[in-house]
Structure 1
Amino acid sequence: MITDLPPLNAVRAFAAAARHESFSRAAEELHVSHSAVSRHVKLLEEHLGVLLFERRIRQSVLTPAGQAFYEQVSLALSQIANAAVSLRRGAALRKVIINVRPSFAVRWLIPRLPQFMARYPQIQPEVVTSTQLPDPARETFDLVIRRGHSGWSRTLQPQRLLEDEILLVAAPSLLQDTALDSPKDLTRHSLLVSRTRASDWQRWLEHCGLKPLRNPPTLHFDHMHLVLQACVDGLGLALCPASLLAKDLASGRLVCPLPELRQPLPRYYYALAADAAPEAQGFIQWMLEQAQQDALEHTTRQPL
């Protein structure tokens, strides 16, 4: 029974002394003094009521009772150590490190994580953001997500995640004050620009066959998620990847005033690190389900 256990520190000291046949070497292994090991062994002998060692000059030899006890104790201690190692490994494997760009993390991944964690409570996602593709030789991750198929490390095999396109969006309150019924009305609004996607407006106008805008009022921001927040707050019009808009469009925080004007974008890809945790596969499957759901919702929102 648990209540019959001998002092465990004393058992540990005894096992070390029995293995080395030396109190001094046991003390070195346990980082304690020789006298501390001796006291632990004596305490254990008093608890058990038997002599475990024959004390000789410069040597401690197990008695028959000590030998029998050591054989069982060493097995039990090994089982405890193996259980601890297994538990630590299991805890480490449950963590999945996902490396993404900041805007994708803020606008696509993080808002969905509560759903993932509710479905897979045993997996702990850890989101790491960077603007550059990570180097597997220098950075630790299980899964990386980026747009486009170029620039990837040779050790990574990118796989398709989701399709994407550029949409024009605005806050409903902005359009109530200043209508946007046709491309001609673009000149009546301020344009919101992300420095990480500085050429979006020019490319979008060219793709849609529209004339360049002459010196439109613009507001510049460092990242796309800041542009979207400014757009939600009614500061102007934004061009944004549809992949980052699902929650805002669904909630009505943003609307797409000219839905027929769309520009395709390079799709998103994901790749697994060579030593990725097995749980990363479950995370990928969940992301693919989310991407499929987005595609269905996006189709239903498109005008007939």
Structure 2
Amino acid sequence: MIANLPPLNAVRAFAAAARHQSFSRAAEELHVSHSAVSRHVKLLEERLGVLLFERRTRQSLLTPEGKAFYEQVSEALTQIANAATALTRSAAQRKVIINVRPSFAVRWLIPRLPDFVALHPDIKPEVVTSTRPPDPSREPFDVVIRRGRAGWSAHVQPTALLEDDLLLVSAPSLLQSVPLENTHDLARHTLLSGKTRSSDWQAWTVHAGISPLHNSPTLQFDHMHLVLQAAVDGLGVALCPASLLSKDLSNGRLTCPLPSLRLPLSRYYYGVSRDAAVDAQFFVDWLFSQIRQPATAQPKA
């Protein structure tokens, strides 16, 4: 029974001394003094009522009782050590590495992550950003999300995740000073764009059936989340994937002046690495639960 356990520190000192057949070497292993090991063993012998060692000048030999006790104690201590190691490894592995593009991380994933953490407090989501095609041999991950299927490694199977459209957005304050009621009004505005989506304006004008906006002033930024911040700050109008807009539309920082002009985009796909942690499936299930939630403040056609 647990109540009959001898002092575990004494058992640990005894096991070390028995393994080395020496109190001095046991003391070195445990980083204590020779006398401390001797006291622990004596305490254990008094508790058990038997001699465990035959003390000699340069060596301490196990008695028959000590040898029998050591065989069982050694196995029990090994089991405890193995259990502790397994638990530590399990705890260390309870994380999910999610590889996404920077703008998707900033505008879609990170604002929603508190919900995942609340649902799974024992799983640590580790977000890494990259613009390169998914390849676990180059960038280790558990779950990867990218738009489209181009460039995916043969080791990762892309699965459809999220439909998307391209929308025109602007800060409400900008439209109060410079209205934008139709496509002709775009000539009065600065056009914001990102290097990673540099062809959006051309594709959108073709879809909208209007002439290219060659004479309009433009500002370009590295990533879409920077373009959106510029739009929020009233620097101009921007074309942006609807997937990145929900928070800014819902809180009124951005508005969609021409909601009927939607340009369908390539959908998002997700992939799970073959070596993914078991908890990756919890994250994938959570992704779909977020996508199924009704969108708020979506622009109406």
Using the size of structure 1 for normalisation, the TM-score is: 0.88
Aligned residues: 296
Gaps of 5+ in 2: none
Of residues 165-174 and 10-19 in structure 1, the stretch that sits farther from structure 2 once superposed is: 10-19
1:256-279 deviations in whole A, cap 9, x for unaligned?
Answer: 111111111111111111111111
Q: 1:297 aligns with which of 282, 287, 295?
A: 295
What residue in structure 2 maps to residue 243 of structure 1? 243
SS at match of 2:295: helix
Shift of 1:6: 3.0
Query: Which range moves more in the overlay, 65-74 or 194-203?
Result: 65-74
Q: CA contact under 8 A between 1:13 and 1:37: conserved in structure 2?
A: no
Query: Which amino acid in structure 2 is aligned with residue 284 of structure 1?
Result: V
Alignment of 1:23-34 (within 5 A): 30=29
1:79 aligns to what? Answer: 79
- % identical equivalent positions: 64
The answer to whether the aligner puts 1:46 opposite 2:42 as a matched pair is yes
Inter-partner Cα distance in structure 2 for 1:171 and 1:131? 28
How far 1:5 sits from its partner (Å)?
4.9
> What per-residue deviation string (whole Å, max 9, x for no partner) do you get for residues 10-58 of structure 1?
5334323423546687678x386xxx68545422222123532234687
TM-superposition CA deviations, 1:145-179 (whole Å, max 9, x none): 11111111111111111011110001111111111
Structure 2 counterpart of 1:6: 7
Distance 1:45 1:22 in 2: 12
**2-structure distance, mates of 1:177, 1:41:** 84
> Take 2:229 and 2:237, find their aligned partners in 1: how far apart are those partners?
11
SS at structure 2 position matched to 1:108: helix
Asked whether the 8 Å contact 1:14–1:40 carries over to 2, the reply is no
Specify the code of the residue in structure 2 equivalent to 1:263: L
- Please say which of residues 241-250 and 207-216 is displaced more in the overlay: 207-216
Q: Which amino acid aligns with 1:80?
A: I
Q: Which moved more, 1:222-231 or 1:135-144?
A: 135-144
| Distance change in 2, residues 1:250/1:300 (3 Å) | closer
What CA RMSD, in Å, does the superposition of the two structures yield over aligned residues? 2.6
Residues 267 and 298 (structure 1 numbering): CA distance in 2 closer, same or farther, change over 3 Å? farther
Whether the aligned pair in 2 keeps the contact of 1:14 and 1:37 (CA below 8 Å) is: no
Q: Shift of the alpha carbon at 1:202?
A: 1.1
Name the residue aligned to 1:280: 280
What residue in structure 2 maps to residue 161 of structure 1? Answer: 161
**Alpha-carbon separation, structure 2, partners of 1:187 and 1:121:** 50
Preserved CA contact (<8 Å) 2:169 2:256 = yes
Moved more, 76-85 or 235-244: 76-85
* Paired residues of 2:162 and 2:267 also in contact (CA < 8 A): yes
Say if 2:192 is the partner of 1:192.
Answer: yes
Structure 1 stretches of 5 or more lacking a match? none
CA contact (8 A) 1:26 1:37 kept: no
Distance 1:260 1:147 in 2: 23
Secondary structure of residue in 1 paired with 2:161: strand
Instruction: Supply the distance in 2 between the matched residues of 1:5 and 1:27 (Cα, whole angstroms).
Output: 20
Range with greater deviation from structure 2 (280-289 or 40-49): 40-49
CA separation in 1, counterparts of 2:51 and 2:40?
A: 9
1:96-245 equivalences under 5 Å are 96-245=96-245
**Which residue identity does 2:227 align to in structure 1?**
V
The separation in 2 between residues aligned to 1:196 and 1:213, in whole angstroms, is 19
Aligned to 1:271: 271
3-state SS of 1:297 partner: coil
Aligned amino acid, residue 188 of structure 2: R
Q: Distance in 1 between matches of 2:3 and 2:207?
A: 75
